Structure formats: structure tokens, C-alpha cells
């Protein structure tokens, strides 16, 4: 097996859009840990003057088994996953985070390739707008 050196040719990415909207669809095993990272990126974008929004979507509730492999604790059992994470990170970082406690509907996202709104699909877990 040979090593992949593609990273050597990596270049910085500059956002040339008026605003950014992160969508994290699914707040379980991957999504619950991803929220903290996206919040840090959003804070930096906001500090740089770019309006940024975060929306979390998940219809599920925290169960005892989730506290082992997901980013939840026993005090959160029974609460909606998206709402729980939105409250936690909103309070910790003084940032408004929207939570939708239902099944994701693709029509909620409007895709623009130009005109000031950034949309980058990031797999099934997060979409950026």
C-alpha cells in the first residue's frame, strides 16, 4: 500500500458568500459530536462578520443507551436530541441555534449556486447553506 500525498496540494478555501447556514441532520452518534465542531466554525465566521446560522434536525429522544456512544449524559434522557444540543451549545456560546424535533424534509433547504448563499452538501449528516 502506498501513501496518499494529496494533502500536499491542499489550498485554503475562502468563502465568498454573504451568509452561511449549517444544517446537521441527525443528532446521534456522529451528529451529536459534530455540533460542537460546527459551533466553533460558526463562531469564527460570525467574528469575521459573516452572518451564520445553525439548524439541528432530529425526531429522536435521548435514551440511556445513547449516553455511552453519543454526546449525551443521563440528565438528558427523555429529551429531544436536536433540542438538547441546541440548548447546550446556545447557552455555552451565547449563540442562537435552531432545533427542529422532527424528520428532515429536503424542501426545507433552498439550493443556490450563486447570489450570496453558500450550499455545500456534507454527506447525509450536515448540509451547509
CA distance 80 to 86: 10
Residues 20-60 pLDDT 10s: 889 999 999 999 999 999 999 999 999 999 889 999 999 99
The fold for domain 28-128 equals: Rossmann fold (3.40.50)
Q: How confident is the model at residue 108 (pLDDT cuts 50, 70, 90)?
A: confident
- The domains of the chain are located at 28-128
- Residue 115 confidence class, pLDDT cut points 50, 70, 90: low
| CA separation for the pair 56, 54 (Å, rounded) | 7
Q: How far is CA 15 from the centre of its chain?
A: 17
Classify 124 as helix, strand or coil.
strand
pTM over 0.85: no
For residues 56 and 89, the answer to whether their CB atoms sit within 8 Å is no
d(C-alpha 54, C-alpha 89), whole Å: 11
Residues sharing a CB contact under 8 Å with residue 54, sequence separation 6 or more, in sequence order: 21, 22, 24, 35, 38, 39, 42, 95, 97, 98
Distance of CA 60 to the CA centre of its chain: 16
pLDDT of residue 11: 79
Amino acid at each position: 500500500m502506498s501513501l496518499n500525498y494529496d494533502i500536499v496540494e491542499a489550498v485554503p478555501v475562502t468563502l465568498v458568500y454573504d451568509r452561511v447556514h449549517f444544517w446537521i441532520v441527525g443528532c446521534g452518534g456522529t451528529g451529536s459530536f459534530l455540533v460542537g465542531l460546527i459551533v466553533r466554525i460558526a463562531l469564527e465566521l460570525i467574528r469575521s462578520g459573516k452572518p451564520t446560522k445553525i439548524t439541528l434536525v432530529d425526531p429522536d429522544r435521548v435514551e440511556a443507551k445513547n449516553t455511552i456512544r453519543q454526546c449525551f449524559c443521563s440528565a438528558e434522557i427523555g429529551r429531544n436530541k436536536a433540542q438538547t444540543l441546541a440548548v447546550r451549545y446556545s447557552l455555552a456560546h451565547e449563540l442562537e441555534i435552531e432545533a427542529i424535533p422532527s424528520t428532515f424534509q429536503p424542501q426545507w433547504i433552498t439550493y443556490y449556486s450563486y447570489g450570496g448563499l453558500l450550499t455545500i452538501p456534507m454527506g447525509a449528516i450536515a448540509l451547509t447553506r
